[in-house]
Structure formats: C-alpha cells, structure tokens
Amino acid sequence: MRHYLFGLVAALATTTAAQAQISAGTVLLGGNLGYRQQKAKVGATNFRPAYEDRLRQISISPTAGYFVADNLVVGVQLNWQRDAHKYPAIVPVVINPGPGPATADVLYGESTMRRLQVGPFARYYKFIGSKAAFYGQLGAGYSVTNYEDEPPVYIGNSDTKISGFYGQLSPGVVYFPTPLFALAVSLRGLTYQHFAYSGEGYGSNDRTSSIFDAGFRLRDLRLGASFYLGRGSSL
C-alpha cells in the first residue's frame, strides 16, 4: 500500500511538472498595451491666470515568437509609442514702471514624440503552478524617435530625430485561464540606449548620448495578452 501511495504521488508530481510548461514548438502571438495621462494645475495669482500642464502617452508592443525549448521563446518585438505634451509659458504683458505687480499671460506650446523600435528578444518562463508563471525577457534592437515642438512664443518650430540602439531586461508575470491564452503584466525594467541626435530649428544640434535607466514604477506598468498556438490543451 505504501509503495502504491508513493507511486501515485510521484505520478501526480510528474504530471504536474509536465503540464506546468510551454512545450518546444509552441508559437507565441501577443503584445502589450500601455497608457498614461498626467495633468498638473497651478492656481491663479494677482498677476497671472491659472494654467495647467498636460501629458498623454500611449504605447503598443506586438510580439511574435517560437519556443525553441520548453519554456524558452525567441522572437521579434515591435514597440510603438506616442507622447503628446501641452505645456505653458508665462509671458509678461505689461510691466508697470511704478509700484504694483507686473501683469502676465499664459501661452501654450505643444510637442509630439513618436518612437518606433524593432528587434529580437528571448524570454524564459518559470511556472509557479499550472496556470501562472514569472518570466524574464532580454531584448535588443534599433530605435527611431521623432520630436516635433511648437513653442508658445514665436521663436520658430523645432524638429529632432533620434536614432540608435537599445538593450532591455524586463520582468513579467502571466496567467493562463486556458492553456492557449494568457494575460500578462510586465514592467519596463532595465534599459540601456545609445543614440545620435540630429535636428532642425531653434536649439537643434547634432550630438550622441548614452542612457541607462530603470523602470519599476507604476507608470512603467504594461498590460498584455498572448496566444500560445500549438500548446497542449490538457491543463
């Protein structure tokens, strides 16, 4: 009887281990979506009206990959992001020669940023049961960013192009309500970028820069969903 129980436990453990994985040959199709909106308001004073600063950001990241081994997928990811920023500038209107405050007005400028990134990635899953897993993803690729700025005062528009390479290490967690479909939550993680700048208009100059930053805050959160085509349906 004891040998039977040990055999049953071993069989169940083996079955669970086999199920809690994504087998080689599975195809991954999915992506992430990010959205951020920020608004800052400043009240009026005796010499100027109230004003606000607005930022709106959206990002979309489609992904396609192939599992070359159990729980290990390699593939290609595309990242598209757009930022729209409406920002204020306080401009004096009348400067009184005598006592009393100066008067000022608030004008608004608008800037737009568009970014496109594409490159390969590798992702490894570590299951914590039959339906949930953590993963770590390593990616690299080429990036192009375009900035357009229309300032509130009349000093001319400015266009800037930034191009170069990036590397990224990001964590995430997935949940499988069914074996073929999963919901995901991820963070931007660690990023290294090396870029060259070129531009036209006021304040533009050609230069290069290297940036290393970490994205583990709430605003770096990404939501996603993925299909795992060809994965076993016995979970």
We report the CATH number of the domain holding residue 122 as 2.40.160.20
Using an 8 Å Cβ cutoff, are 1 and 190 in contact?
A: no
Instruction: Give pLDDT tens digits for 160-189.
Output: 899 999 999 999 999 999 999 999 999 989
Does residue 14 form part of some domain?
Answer: yes
Does residue 50 form part of some domain?
Answer: no
Does residue 96 form part of some domain?
Answer: no
Does residue 26 form part of some domain?
Answer: yes
Does residue 102 form part of some domain?
Answer: no
Instruction: Give pLDDT tens digits for 130-139.
Output: 999 999 999 9
pLDDT of the residue at 178:
95
Taken in order 121, 188, 231, 130, is the CA torsion positive or negative? positive
Instruction: Give pLDDT tens digits for 185-194.
Output: 999 899 999 9
Does residue 235 form part of some domain?
Answer: no
Does residue 99 form part of some domain?
Answer: no
- In the chain, the percentage of residues whose pLDDT exceeds 90 is 54
The dihedral region occupied by 230, where left means phi > 0, alpha psi between -120 and 50, and beta the remainder, is left
The pTM is what?
Answer: 0.75
The C-alpha atoms of residue 71 and residue 91 are separated, in whole angstroms, by 59
Using an 8 Å Cβ cutoff, are 185 and 223 in contact?
A: yes
Cβ–Cβ contacts within 10 Å for residue 12, how many? 10
- Range of the structural domain that residue 216 is part of: 2-41+55-85+109-229
Does residue 49 form part of some domain?
Answer: no
The domain tally of the chain equals 1
Instruction: Give pLDDT tens digits for 103-129.
Output: 788 888 899 999 999 999 999 999 999
pLDDT band at 4 (very low <50, low <70, confident <90, very high): very low
Using an 8 Å Cβ cutoff, are 181 and 206 in contact?
A: no
Strands 181-187 and 27-42: unpaired
pLDDT of the residue at 105:
83
| Beta strand residue intervals within 70-157, DSSP E | 72-94, 103-127, 132-150
